[in-house]
Structure formats: structure tokens, C-alpha cells
């Protein structure tokens, strides 16, 4: 189970829409396993395939490290889409692909999400609170959307110096990464 490098802000793959998974293959299962390993290694609670350079609609979530969710099993969401949402809440978010940048994002408080699990079974699940937020954040990723896109122009401007550093590869993390600067050098 290799730990995959996480792609940093500025990488094109983070802005591309992932392709739907047509069939659960051994390669998809292997990707899911590697994504869980990568997410846990980075102390994350959610990870989308785009973040590890794969344009497939695959998401892994594990919020069981948070006290009120300690009994929740890890989730794999394939081809996930929100089909219903209500209420709103504003909570600070961060992202493994945008280290040290956090800001408040408004999202629906309660959602209904449809997805396929690793057995190919179609599931409809209601989520609220933190789980709803993480699901929406990761679905945004597979659609090429970052949490920064939900911020006002003024708030985005405040983060520009740090975003510029991340894009240049001037970032230290406890997990392996691929920066936009590495791509520019390789091209």
C-alpha cells in the first residue's frame, strides 16, 4: 500500500473534472486502499482522487478520529453527487492540497448524497454536520472546485501570498507532495 504524493495548489489536475467510474476493477480497489493510506498518513479526514493525480470520481472519508464520530466507519464514495441540501452553516475549512490556508466556507448543513460503494452497490445517504461538509468538500474536488472558490474576492486576496508560495513549491508538509513548480520544471 504505497503512500501517494498529494498534488498541491496550482496543479492542473485539481481543476479538472474527474471521470465517472464505469466499473469497480482491481485497479479502482487498489486506488481506494492507497488513498486511505495516503489520507491517514497526512492526518486528513477526506481525500479525492484528483488530489493524488487520478481523474476518477473516487472519494475516501474517515472522520472516526473525531470524538463525536468515533463509531462511524470509513466511507468510500464513487461517482458521488449531492441530490438534496438544506439549511446552511459556515465553518472553517482547510485542504491537504492547500496547506496552512484555512477560511470559513458556507455550505448546506444537511445533504442527501448518492454514490456507489466499492462493491458497486448504489447508496443514498443523508449526512449533516461535519460529515455533510467533508462530503461536499470532496465532491467539489472531483468536480475541479477548491474551497477557495467559495470565498469572496477580498478573502481570496488575503490568501494570495501563501498561495503563491504553495504554487512555487515553498511548502513544508509531513507528507509527500507534488507542487506546480515541479511540473513546470518537468515540462
- For residue 183, the model assigns a pLDDT of 58
Q: Which of 110, 51, 46 is nearest to 74 (CA)?
A: 46
Q: State the sign of the Cα–Cα–Cα–Cα dihedral 76, 81, 19, 12.
A: negative
Helix then strand count (H, E) for the chain reads: 4, 9
Q: What is the pLDDT of residues 60-104, one digit of tens each?
A: 999 999 999 999 999 999 999 999 999 999 999 999 999 999 999
Q: How far apart are CA 76 and CA 34, in angstroms?
A: 12
| CATH class of the domain at 6-166 | alpha beta
* Domain residue spans of the chain: 6-166
Q: Does the active-site annotation cover 138?
A: yes
How high does pLDDT run on average in the chain?
Answer: 95
Q: What is the pLDDT of residues 142-178, one digit of tens each?
A: 999 999 999 999 999 999 999 999 999 999 999 999 9
Cell of 122: 448504489
Residues near 7 by beta carbon (within 8 Å), at least 6 away in sequence: 13, 14, 50, 51, 52, 53, 97, 177, 178
Give me the catalytic one of 124, 138, 170, 182.
138
Amino acid at each position: 500500500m504505497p503512500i501517494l504524493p498529494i498534488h498541491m495548489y496550482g496543479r492542473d489536475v485539481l481543476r479538472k473534472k474527474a471521470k465517472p467510474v464505469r466499473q469497480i476493477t482491481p485497479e479502482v480497489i487498489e486506488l481506494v486502499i492507497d488513498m486511505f493510506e495516503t489520507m491517514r498518513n497526512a492526518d486528513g479526514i477526506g481525500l479525492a482522487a484528483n488530489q493524488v493525480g487520478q481523474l476518477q470520481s473516487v472519494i475516501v472519508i474517515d472522520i472516526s478520529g473525531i470524538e463525536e464520530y468515533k463509531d462511524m466507519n470509513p466511507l468510500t464514495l464513487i461517482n458521488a453527487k449531492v441530490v438534496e441540501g438544506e439549511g446552511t452553516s459556515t465553518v472553517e475549512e482547510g485542504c491537504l492540497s492547500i496547506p496552512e490556508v484555512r477560511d470559513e466556507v458556507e455550505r448546506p448543513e444537511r445533504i442527501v448524497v448518492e454514490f456507489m460503494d466499492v462493491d458497486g452497490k448504489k447508496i443514498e445517504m443523508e449526512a449533516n454536520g461535519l460529515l455533510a461538509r467533508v462530503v461536499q468538500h470532496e465532491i467539489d474536488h472531483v468536480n475541479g472546485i477548491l474551497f477557495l472558490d467559495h470565498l469572496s474576492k477580498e478573502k481570496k486576496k488575503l490568501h494570495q501570498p501563501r498561495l503563491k508560495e504553495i504554487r512555487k513549491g515553498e511548502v513544508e508538509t509531513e507528507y509527500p507532495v507534488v507542487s506546480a513548480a515541479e511540473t513546470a520544471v518537468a515540462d
